[in-house]
Amino acid sequence: MIYVYDLEFALCLFDSEYGSATDILDPEAQKFQASLKFLEYKSRDKAPHNSSLGSGLQGSIPSMFTLAQVTRLASVLLATSGALASKFQSQKRSNDTAQCLNTRADTLVRRASPTLSFNSSQWMWTPELSDGVAPAGSRGFRKTFVPPQGKTPAFLTIAYAVDDIGTLFVNGQEIATEFVWYTAGTYCVNLADCGCAVVIAFNATNAFTAPNPAGLLVDGIVTYTDGSTSPIVSDTTWRTSTGGLPSGFQDLTFDDSTWAPAVTEGGNGVAPWGNVALAGSDPLLFTPARWIWTNEAAVSGNYPPGARAFRYSLTLPAGQTSGTVTVIIDTDNEYSLYINGAFVGTGTDFTVAQKYVVENVQGPEIVFAVYAVNTATAPNPAGLLAAIEVTSQDGYCTQCISTSSAVTYTAWKAFPSAAIPAGFEQPGFDDSDWPNAVDEGGYGVAPWGNVPVPTTVTTGGNPLPGAPGSS
C-alpha cells in the first residue's frame, strides 16, 4: 500500500490528468484546489485556519493518507460539479496538443527530436547476477523521474537494448517490445498528460532455461515544453524485482520501495554484447543483421534449390499508426520484397544489395514478406540478409518521432518448401505453424563476405516469376 505523507504528489497527479485548477479560473475549480491544498497543509500538521475551507474539513483530516484515499476524495469533490468536470476534461484535451509545442510571437516553434546514444548508459540487471549470468525468467525494472520545479514534460525519447526480450511501459502504458540485444529502437512517448512524475518500467526476460548472460541498456531524454531536457540512463538508481514479476509492476502507483537497486555490468561495448546499433541515431547498416534460411538439412551449407518464403511482423509504438519504412536487403540468389502485401522490389544478384524507402505504410502492425529463390539445379549456398527501420510520429505531437528497428534473425518465419502457400505476403496470413529461420552467421561471414551497403534508393521493377503479383 502506498501512503502519501504530503499531498504535493497527489496534487501533481491531479494537475497532470486535468490541468491546473487555477488555470481554468472557475470559482468551483479554485475551491476544489483549495480543499486539496488544505489537505496538503494538514498532512504536515500546519493547516491554515481559513474558515472558507469549511468547518467540516478543519481538524478532521488525518496526517497520513493512502493514495487510494486521495483518489476517492478527488472523485467525490470533482463529482460535486459536473460543469467543473467538463471544463477539466476540455482542458486535458487541449493540453494533449499544446504541451508538446512552444509558441513565440504567435509562431509555432518546432523542435527536433533529441538524438540518443548509449555513451553514459550501463548494462544492468538484478542482484541475482553472479559471474556474468542470471537465472532465466522475467524481472521488473522501474525508474521514477520527477521533473524540476516549474518544468512541464512534453515528451520522452527513449531507446533500449535487452538480452533477451523486453517490454517498455511509460506511466503504465505499454509502448514497445524488443526481442534482440544487438539492435535498439528509439521510441517517443507523448507526456502531455503527465505534469508530474514519469515512471519508466520494463518487463525484461532472460530466455532459455539455464542461467546465462542477461542485461538491459537504456538511454532516454525528457523534453520539456520550453525546449530544455533532462537525461535518463540505466544505472544503479533503477529498482529491480527478484525472483519474478509482480502484477501491476508497471503502474504509476505501484510501490517499489522494497525492490533492490540494479547491478551494473559495464557500458555499451562491453562483452558479451559489444556495440549496440541505435535506430534513429546510427546509420542503417547490415552489421547487426544475420544471414538466415529455412530449417532444411544443408550439407556443408548447401541448401536445396527453389523458392522459399519468409515473413516478419513489426508493431509500431503505442499511439502511432503509420510510418516510413527503409529496408536494405540482399539474398542469395534472388528475391522479391513485399510490405503489407504490396510489392516493393526485386534483386537478382547476391553481390549487390538494394535499398528501398516506402512512405505512409499503415500499421500498427507492418508485415515484411520475402519470396526468395535459391537458383541452379543442385544444392548450393542460400541466404537472406536485411535491416529495417520504420520512422513514425505521434498523432498529437508531431516532433515526437520514433524509429523502430528490425533485422533478419531466427525470429523470422521461414517456409521450408517450394510449395509456398498463396497469400503468404498478406498481413492477415497465418504463419503460426511455420518454423523459425535458421541462423547462418553474421554480416561478413563466408561465402558472402561484406556486401556493400546500398546508398541509392532502388525504384521500379517487377516480381520474380512465380512470386505474388507476377504475370
pLDDT tens sequence across 108-143: 334 566 889 999 999 999 999 999 999 999 999 999
Examine the domain organization and report whether 86 and 34 are in the same domain.
yes
Examine the domain organization and report whether 145 and 273 are in the same domain.
yes
Which of 278, 311, 326 lies at the terminal end of a domain, its last residue? 278
Q: List Cβ<8 Å contacts ≥24 apart for 424-429.
A: 424/309, 424/311, 424/369, 424/468, 425/309, 425/311, 425/338, 425/341, 425/367, 425/369, 425/371, 425/468, 426/341, 426/367, 427/340, 427/341, 427/365, 427/367, 429/311, 429/367
Examine the domain organization and report whether 258 and 354 are in the same domain.
no
Determine, yes or no, domain membership for 205.
Answer: yes
**Count: domains in the chain:** 3
Determine, yes or no, domain membership for 183.
Answer: yes
What pLDDT shows up at residue 257? 96
With a cut of 70, say whether residue 165 has pLDDT above it. Answer: yes
Residue with cell 476517492: 72
CATH of the domain at 214: 2.60.120.260
Q: How many CA atoms lie less than 13 Å away from 292 in the CB half-sphere? A: 30
Determine, yes or no, domain membership for 274.
Answer: yes
- Please give the residue that has the higher pLDDT: either 318 or 3: 318
* Residue 339 near residue 367, CB atoms below 8 Å: yes
Model confidence band, residue 100 (pLDDT cutoffs 50, 70, 90): low
Q: How many CA atoms lie less than 13 Å away from 25 in the CB half-sphere? A: 0
* Residue 205 near residue 135, CB atoms below 8 Å: no
Determine, yes or no, domain membership for 356.
Answer: yes
| 361, β-bridge pairs | 323
Examine the domain organization and report whether 134 and 161 are in the same domain.
yes
pLDDT in tens, 339-394: 999 999 999 999 999 999 999 999 999 999 999 999 988 999 999 999 999 999 87
Determine, yes or no, domain membership for 166.
Answer: yes
Examine the domain organization and report whether 306 and 427 are in the same domain.
yes
How is residue 26 written as a grid cell? 472557475
Which of 248, 278, 308 lies at the terminal end of a domain, its last residue? 278
With a cut of 90, say whether residue 30 has pLDDT above it. Answer: no
What pLDDT shows up at residue 112? 61
With a cut of 90, say whether residue 173 has pLDDT above it. Answer: yes
The per-residue DSSP string of 70-105 comes to HHHHHHHHHHT-HHHHHHHHHHHHHHHHHTT-EEET
Examine the domain organization and report whether 274 and 334 are in the same domain.
no
Examine the domain organization and report whether 56 and 203 are in the same domain.
no
Examine the domain organization and report whether 157 and 82 are in the same domain.
no
Rg (CA), the chain: 26
Examine the domain organization and report whether 423 and 341 are in the same domain.
yes
Examine the domain organization and report whether 265 and 393 are in the same domain.
no
Closest CA to 219 of 229, 200, 233: 233
With a cut of 50, say whether residue 10 has pLDDT above it. Answer: no
pLDDT in tens, 154-163: 999 999 999 9
pLDDT in tens, 220-237: 999 999 999 999 999 999
Determine, yes or no, domain membership for 103.
Answer: no
Give the β-pairing of 277-278 and 183-184: parallel
Single pTM value for the model: 0.78
Determine, yes or no, domain membership for 295.
Answer: yes
Closest CA to 346 of 358, 336, 333: 336
Examine the domain organization and report whether 362 and 384 are in the same domain.
yes
Determine, yes or no, domain membership for 364.
Answer: yes
With a cut of 60, say whether residue 285 has pLDDT above it. Answer: yes
With a cut of 70, say whether residue 323 has pLDDT above it. Answer: yes
C-alpha–C-alpha distance, residues 460 and 428, integer Å:
26
Residue with cell 509555432: 108
Examine the domain organization and report whether 172 and 216 are in the same domain.
yes
Q: Domain range spanning residue 77?
A: 3-98
C-alpha–C-alpha distance, residues 220 and 198, integer Å:
12
